[in-house]
């Protein structure tokens, strides 16, 4: 397949030029094509949510299991009509507080939405992205757009335009090359179709943010469910996995440092190229450690400071892809405290890692 590339990086702040540049991409979406585009969370791969044949092309391009539902993206609140049967009062409050933004809300769907979008469920997840390129594209397309992340299924989600080109060039109708994603992890998904709201996928909008608006909500388990059809993406299948096996090390910062240095020494001695996911607090300790000095081929990258988990979330998928580019044989990673945004970061790292120590 010949993929049309729409490079708008030089005009992202010029709305009129952006509209002109994205009109053909919007037409692709409106008339059955598949288009990858940036959002504030990660890049998405979209198709007209009302076009069953187009949506099936998304699954085919990604190699995505058919029982993994998609999130529907809209540009305007008026598009909710025809998508969901009703908007619960608490859901409306969340929309008023967090839309446009990285929050997907699950509600009862209208029959017009094809079953392939929702994996046959009676509910649909909807969000309104705040990324300017996404807004213009969705507005011009004039239709709701069903879109998972724009990566090959199971691989780290794309946060930079080059990630999308690497995975999907030749597989989709169009790719919009825009800005690097601000958030860096997928949207928070909350189920508002029941009396007791539950966060099915954590994101940068955390439980405490939501409870400040609508009161108590529950968090779904961090563990994958291998049974039944999930109500939100990322709940059932292996996700975000880099090419090399990844091991998460838990404990205090000093304990993690000691464990990782010990394992890295063993792997290097066996001739492997080792990747280490560090933090700003530990980067120098790894780089200056006599255990690793001159010991072999190693790549050490920091996700950011433990005091700034928004930056860690922003960087994590990019770092996993960096290790793919470096062709490391194994990745050894520090874990984070699973609270607040750390819970969202660990949700992704748990799924990317093969084991914990």
237: confidence class by pLDDT, cuts 50, 70, 90:
low
Encoding tokens for residue 259? 């464990």
The per-residue pLDDT of the chain, averaged, comes to 93
Q: What is the pLDDT of residues 256-276, one digit of tens each?
A: 999 999 999 999 999 999 999
Q: What is the pLDDT of residues 29-40, one digit of tens each?
A: 999 999 999 999
Over 90: is that where the pLDDT of 180 sits?
Answer: yes
Beta bridge partners of 127: 73
226: confidence class by pLDDT, cuts 50, 70, 90:
very low
- Please tell me the distance from the alpha carbon of residue 209 to that of residue 215, in angstroms, as a whole number: 10
Q: What is the pLDDT of residues 61-96, one digit of tens each?
A: 999 888 889 999 999 999 999 999 999 999 999 999
- Please tell me the distance from the alpha carbon of residue 103 to that of residue 96, in angstroms, as a whole number: 11
Q: What is the pLDDT of residue 67?
A: 82
Give the side-chain half-sphere CA count within 13 A for 51: 20
> Residue 231's CB: how many other CB atoms inside 10 A?
23
Q: What is the pLDDT of residue 155?
A: 92
Q: What is the pLDDT of residue 85?
A: 96
Region 158-180 average pLDDT: 97
Q: What is the pLDDT of residue 227?
A: 46
Encoding tokens for residue 198? 């539950």
Over 90: is that where the pLDDT of 354 sits?
Answer: no
Q: Which of 8-12, 44-48, 219-223, 225-229 shows the lowest per-residue confidence on average (mean pLDDT)?
A: 225-229
Percent of the chain with pLDDT over 70: 95
**279-308 residues labelled b (16+ CB within 10 A) or e (exposed):** beebeeebeebeebeeeeebbbbbbbebee
Percent of the chain with pLDDT over 90: 88
Q: In what order do the strands lie in the sheet with 298-302?
A: 298-302, 274-278, 330-334, 246-249, 355-356
| Model pTM score | 0.94
Region 221-227 average pLDDT: 52
Q: What is the pLDDT of residue 293?
A: 76
291: confidence class by pLDDT, cuts 50, 70, 90:
confident
N-to-C CA span, the chain:
44
Is there a contact between 72 and 54 (Cβ–Cβ < 8 Å)?
no
Is there a contact between 125 and 187 (Cβ–Cβ < 8 Å)?
no
Beta bridge partners of 81: 84
225: confidence class by pLDDT, cuts 50, 70, 90:
very low
> Residue 270's CB: how many other CB atoms inside 10 A?
11
Q: What is the pLDDT of residue 238?
A: 57
Q: What is the pLDDT of residues 113-164, one digit of tens each?
A: 999 999 999 999 999 999 999 999 999 999 999 999 999 998 999 999 999 9
Q: What is the pLDDT of residues 293-341, one digit of tens each?
A: 766 799 999 999 999 999 999 999 999 999 999 999 999 999 999 999 9
């Amino acid at each position: 397949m010949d993929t049309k590339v729409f490079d708008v990086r030089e005009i992202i702040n010029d709305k009129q030029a952006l509209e002109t540049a994205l009109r053909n991409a919007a037409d692709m979406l409106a008339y059955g094509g598949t288009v990858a585009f940036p959002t504030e969370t990660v890049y998405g791969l979209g198709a007209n949510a009302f076009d069953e044949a187009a949506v099936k092309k998304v699954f085919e391009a990604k190699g995505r299991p058919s029982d993994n539902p998609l999130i529907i993206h809209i540009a305007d609140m008026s598009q909710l009509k025809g998508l969901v049967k009703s908007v619960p009062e608490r859901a409306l409050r969340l929309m008023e507080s967090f839309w446009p933004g990285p929050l997907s809300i699950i509600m009862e769907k209208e029959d017009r939405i094809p079953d392939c979008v929702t994996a046959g469920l009676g509910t649909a997840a909807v969000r309104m992205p705040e990324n300017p390129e996404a807004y213009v594209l969705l507005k011009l397309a004039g239709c709701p757009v069903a879109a998972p992340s724009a990566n090959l299924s199971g691989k780290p989600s794309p946060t930079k335009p080059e990630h999308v080109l690497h995975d999907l060039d030749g597989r989709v109708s169009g790719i919009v090359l825009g800005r690097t994603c601000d958030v860096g992890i997928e949207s928070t998904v909350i189920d508002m179709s029941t009396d007791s709201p539950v966060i099915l996928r954590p994101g940068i909008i955390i439980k405490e943010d939501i409870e400040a608006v609508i009161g108590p909500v529950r968090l779904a388990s961090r563990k994958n469910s291998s049974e039944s059809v999930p109500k939100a993406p990322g709940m059932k299948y292996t996700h975000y996995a880099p090419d090399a096996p990844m091991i998460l090390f838990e404990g205090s910062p000093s304990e993690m440092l000691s464990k990782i240095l010990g394992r890295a020494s063993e792997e290097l001695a066996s001739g492997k190229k080792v990747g280490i996911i560090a933090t700003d607090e530990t980067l120098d300790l790894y780089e200056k450690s006599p255990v690793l000095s001159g010991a072999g081929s190693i790549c050490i990258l920091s996700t950011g400071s433990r005091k700034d988990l928004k930056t860690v979330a922003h960087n994590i998928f990019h770092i996993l892809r960096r290790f793919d580019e470096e062709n490391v044989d194994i990745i050894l990673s520090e874990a984070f405290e699973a609270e607040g945004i750390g819970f969202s970061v660990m949700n992704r790292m748990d799924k990317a890692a093969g084991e914990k120590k």
